[in-house]
Structure 1
C-alpha cells in the first residue's frame, strides 16, 4: 500500500477497514491466477502471489488487456502502452468492459482504484477467477471449478397435475404421531 504515490496513509476507522479488506487477500489464489494468466498469454511473468508482485504485474492493465484479447480477439481495440496514470486506468477500464461482455457478473468485477491504488486486490483476484471460469467458453483452459450448465426440463400437463396431489416433505407429516411413550421432563405434581 505504501507504493501508491500521492496517497496519505489511512488512520482510524479507515485503517481498520483497509486492514480487514487486505486480510482477505490470498497469496496462493493470486499465484494460481498469475500462473493461469501466463499460460493464456504466453508471457513470462513472475507468478509469486505476494501482493506487491501481483500489483506490480497487473497495475498498468496491459497484461489484463492482452489476456482478454487472447481469450476473445478484438475485445480491447487499443491498449495504451504509456505509464501515465490515466492511460493505465483506461486499460483497466477497457479490461473490465471486456470482462462484462464475456459474462463476468457485476458482483465479481472490481473497481479501477481497487487495482490502480491497491485498495482491494482480493476483489481483483475474484474477478480474474470468474473470468477463468468463463475461459472454456472461448476455447481456453479454465481456472477453478467448471461452471454449471443450464438443464432445462419440460413436463407434460399430466405430470404437473400429478404433482398437485402429493404432499411434499416440506409440509411435514403426522402419520402415527401420538404422545404415548413420552417420558422425559418433570412429571406433573398435583
Structure 2
C-alpha cells in the first residue's frame, strides 16, 4: 500500500519499531518457511524483501495448510491474490491458523503489520514462535513437568522456616551511625 510518509512523533515511533527488526533472524525464518512450503523465493532477510515475499499471504497460506490447518479454501491458495482485501483475508486466515496451532496471542501479529509494513518484526516473531511450536525451528519449547508430593512431604515443608522471613544471623546494623549525633542537654538553672 502507498501511504503518506510519517512525520514527527509518529515517525520516531515507527523508526523505533523498525530498529528492532533483525535481518538475520528474518532470513533464517524465510529459509524455514521455504523448507516447509517447497516454494521457491528469495530468502534474503532485508525488510523490503521479507515483506515482498509474504505480504500477499500466499506463502503464509501454503505454510499453515502444510502444518495442518485446514480452514483455508483451495480457491484462495490456487493463485497469488492481487486484490488488497483478498490478501488481507489470506493473512487473517494464517493468523487464525497460527492461534489454532497453539501459538500465544502475544506472539501473533495484526494483518496490517505485514500488509502495510507497520511492524514486520512482529511477523518474524510470529513465524519464529510457530517454528518453535512445531518443534522444527528455533529453540525447543519447554515441556510441562508436573510434580506430585505426598501428604508427608507437604507436612514436612511446614516445619521449615524460609529464609524469606529473614534471619537474625550475620551482619547487623548495630553500631552504625549516619550523620551527626543528636546532643541532648539540659540548660543550667539560674538560681
- Which category of TM-score, normalised to the shorter sequence, fits these structures? 0.7 to 0.9
Match in the other structure for 2:118:
119
Cα RMSD (Å): 2.1
Residues 35, 176 of structure 1: alpha-carbon distance in 2 compared, 3 angstrom cutoff: closer
Match in the other structure for 1:89:
88
Asked if structure 2 preserves the Cα contact closer than 8 Å seen for 1:68 and 1:75, the reply is: no
Equivalent-residue separation in structure 2 for 1:19 and 1:186 (angstroms): 49
* Structure 1 residues not aligned, in runs of 5+: 137-141
Equivalent-residue separation in structure 1 for 2:132 and 2:139 (angstroms): 7
Listed one character per residue, the Cα deviations across residues 99-121 of structure 1 (whole Å, up to 9, x for unaligned) are 00001111111100000000000
The reply to whether residue 17 of structure 1 matches residue 10 of structure 2 is no
Equivalent-residue separation in structure 2 for 1:21 and 1:95 (angstroms): 23
Residue 185 of structure 1: how far off its partner (Å): 8.3
Match in the other structure for 1:139:
none
Asked if structure 1 preserves the Cα contact closer than 8 Å seen for 2:69 and 2:97, the reply is: no
Name which of 47, 65, 71 aligns with 2:67. 71
TM-score for the superposition, normalised by structure 2: 0.85
Equivalent-residue separation in structure 2 for 1:130 and 1:115 (angstroms): 16
The number of equivalent residue pairs is 180
Residue 186 of structure 1: how far off its partner (Å): 8.9
Structure 2 counterparts to residues 34-183 of structure 1, below 5 A: 34-72=30-68, 74-78=70-74, 79-80=76-77, 81=79, 82-136=81-135, 142-175=136-169
Equivalent-residue separation in structure 2 for 1:158 and 1:31 (angstroms): 54
Asked if structure 2 preserves the Cα contact closer than 8 Å seen for 1:100 and 1:106, the reply is: yes
